[in-house]
Chains A and B, each alone.
Chain A
């Protein structure tokens, strides 16, 4: 049976963690003496109070956490964070609709980066920082963060770890979960700081540098300007962004061995990384060709904007430096393809993941070979380890679930009258946590505010499913989850 009391207790504790993050924003607001001081103060109060009530309710909880509890808890944590995180927008009056505020926060936490804000630059600094911070926390995972700082809270349960980390293969870097979580957050922090320093050096203000660094390493995509990185019109900044987006799309475990252990060779031997690089280069070359042919870019510019857009879509960041709406429509197909695949497993990127792509391609190749050699036993090997048939089936199930969800969202959006190209790319964009959409009605640089409220709720759910890799969230809606057996 579901251990409600324990779930409440942990949830309450995590809300206090969120309140601590909000306190940072309050500090920011106080520093800039802007209108959002009140909003944050009240929100922190409410969050602490709700957290306190939940903890009180779960005072004498037994410490047994079942597998079901884990799935339920992880999903609830994300929803609760989004609900509390939406409050500053509402209380401060920057957004009037509950739907919009929830959508915006969920889009932040899941590192999607789709916004319904028409004019970001008008927001106070504290709130802008809060938007970036939600992405930064969500990039690595709320629960993983908690494991790193409060090890006692789940007692080192691997179930939590696997419920929130991405990719088909879940490898720990260290025998102890807490150490693994700390190492992952350490890499994440280093990447973010390095990115911020580079941005600062290339001419961004400290506030912007920090915000962009956080949303780029989280592969989120929220910007502090309406024109995103295009605002700076500085190719050094854009290339920095490209490099850090690309790095954030690599498996952090791999990054750790490559950078901190100096085993760079291992990076290039990794099948997933190779797939990821080939995808980047291939898609860029394709788009460069069409930009040169149709849009009369000069060569360096074409490379820069194409690479930026490809890396941004492939790592599911969703930043932009040019309006891709002006490009040949075939480039949209390539970008959609990038959106679908996403980055490497174990990174902050979303999507289907390159690791799954590699395995899927090998399964396909084996199927062909099987027709010629019906009795052959063909292994699916990735980096010298075999993916057994149970793993292959899980992968196929994931693929089907992913597409079923995207198509359901696609269907509903068409039904309520959203432009068909937009519907398709919005569904894909939310499922993969990318952010921008490609289409005729809403361009990649525009906000999503014109979508109907109903659709926004569905998309919020889709984003959350995309972030938690579908099954963690979807399993809650299976009737037998609630049955007592």
Chain B
């Protein structure tokens, strides 16, 4: 498959990396030669340099006409849209444009764009805000991914002292019919696909597959019962993501946004249409400012400044001051791992979110849903088992499924079921697979 990426910025580079790993033909177009060189060093792909006064020539050089997917992720949203329209007219079969303005993502507008040739628009700020708001609903969970409208849920939970199953091998804790299934463990920088002899240790990030009704007992099992419900949120940094977050906040949650630029504060008061939000013109990195606005009464702290280091440090400070849940936006991929190891609740990376969203578009229609988990360098995907496919032939333990992948659970007739060795997968089931270090395409074969 031929994928053309316009824009070699953070998102473009991440996408190029993802796609080249699954052996696709990638062409990256950008007007900055240094960026292109850097990308070419790390990934197996072709680059085309475009000059700003001949963008169409570059498109033709990249053979947009043969492209299966054209992705425009430059900084300029209108440039993205117009280049998508152009790519479509040159013959690209699918086009994706990154936008920043919320109004460009409302259905009416999206329809108008798709008539003009833009197959999808994605809004990274919106994806980030959705993730943040979701994680506020369950503060004791680091990551949450709902499958099939919540019939199954993947939860990433950090294990600390107080976890009831610490240091006990799984075969002693879990029976085949236990309502939880550990699909992966992140320990240090390693990702483990567990067997019956593995166990949870302090500091592990554990990925569970479970059903929604078991959330409460899950919380107790992991020793997280003392986590309070979020009522007050402090947000540091009043960028676009912050605006989306506060406009999406569920009822009953109050927020304070710290922003040090007085001019931006004025703008924020106009952008925020919510009485429960207060804009504060002060530096959120200062402890005295945070204390003045009573950070002790906040249950969650979200750092959304432009600088990843500042966000990580601000979150650590907030933890120190007693805020149970911290969320940091980390733009720099290299810091994602470190931020996960230090005690920061949830890490948001817009590039990765956008990339996995686009990644999903590329994959076959059989993959219903996919999510790239950057902290463990893994993908979780939802597949539909076809009649006569290999996966439906034998019991799971006899399938010879790759060890790097783990079958988490399945949804049959809208009901979530966890998978163990004895499970027989039936045609039509939606199966959730956790893949670490193995291409999705390899897994896909089992379902065809």
Contact = CB atoms under 8 A, between A and B. Distances in A.
A148 B448 CA distance: 75
Interface of B: 262, 265-266, 268-270, 273, 278-282, 289, 292-293
Interface in A352-388: 373-379, 381, 384, 386
Interface string A181-192: 000000000000
B281 A375 contact: yes
Contacts of A373: 278, 280, 293
Nearest to B265: A377
Contacts of B273: 384
Given A377-B266, A377-B269, A378-B279, 10 more contacts: A373-B280, A373-B293, A375-B280, A375-B289, A375-B292, A376-B278, A376-B280, A377-B262, A377-B268, A377-B281
Given A373-B278, A373-B280, A379 B270 contact: yes
A423 B278 CA distance: 45
Contacts of B292: 374-375
Looking at chain A, what size class is its interface with the partner chain?
A: 10 to 19
A386 B278 contact: no
Contacts of A379: 269-270, 279
B269 A378 contact: yes
Interface in A23-42: none
B270 A378 contact: no
Nearest to B283: A375
Contacts of A376: 278-281
A379 B275 CA distance: 10
22 contacts: A373-B280, A373-B293, A374-B292, A375-B280, A375-B281, A375-B289, A376-B278, A376-B279, A376-B280, A376-B281, A377-B262, A377-B265, A377-B266, A377-B268, A377-B269, A377-B280, A378-B269, A378-B279, A379-B269, A379-B270, A379-B279, A384-B273
Interface of A: 373-379, 381, 384, 386
A258 B155 CA distance: 51
B399 to A, nearest CB: 58
5 smallest beta-carbon distances between A and B, as pairs: A379-B269, A377-B265, A375-B282, A377-B279, A376-B280
A413 B268 CA distance: 50
B225 to A, nearest CB: 33
Contacts of A378: 269, 278-279
Query: For the complex, would chain A's binding face be called helix, strand, loop or mixed by DSSP majority?
Result: loop
A99 to B, nearest CB: 52
Nearest to A379: B269
Nearest to A380: B269
Contact of A386 (B265, B269, B281, B282): B269
A57 B292 CA distance: 69
A374 B270 CA distance: 19
B433 to A, nearest CB: 47
A296 to B, nearest CB: 45
B238 to A, nearest CB: 10
B275 to A, nearest CB: 9
A373 B289 CA distance: 10
Contacts of A386: 269-270
Contacts of B293: 373, 375
Contacts of B282: 375
Contacts of A377: 262, 265-266, 268-269, 279-281
Nearest to B258: A375
A377 B279 CA distance: 5
Contacts of B281: 375-377
Nearest to B257: A377
Nearest to A389: B266
A46 to B, nearest CB: 55
A373 B292 CA distance: 8
Contacts of A375: 280-282, 289, 292-293
A374 B278 CA distance: 12
Contacts of B262: 377
A379 B278 CA distance: 9
A140 to B, nearest CB: 33
Nearest to A386: B270
Nearest to A388: B266
B262 to A, nearest CB: 7
A373 B342 CA distance: 32
A359 to B, nearest CB: 15
A376 B282 CA distance: 8
Contacts of B266: 377
A335 B273 CA distance: 36
B273 to A, nearest CB: 6
Nearest to B238: A377
Contacts of B280: 373, 375-377
A375 B293 CA distance: 9
Contacts of B269: 377-379, 381, 386
A377 B266 CA distance: 7
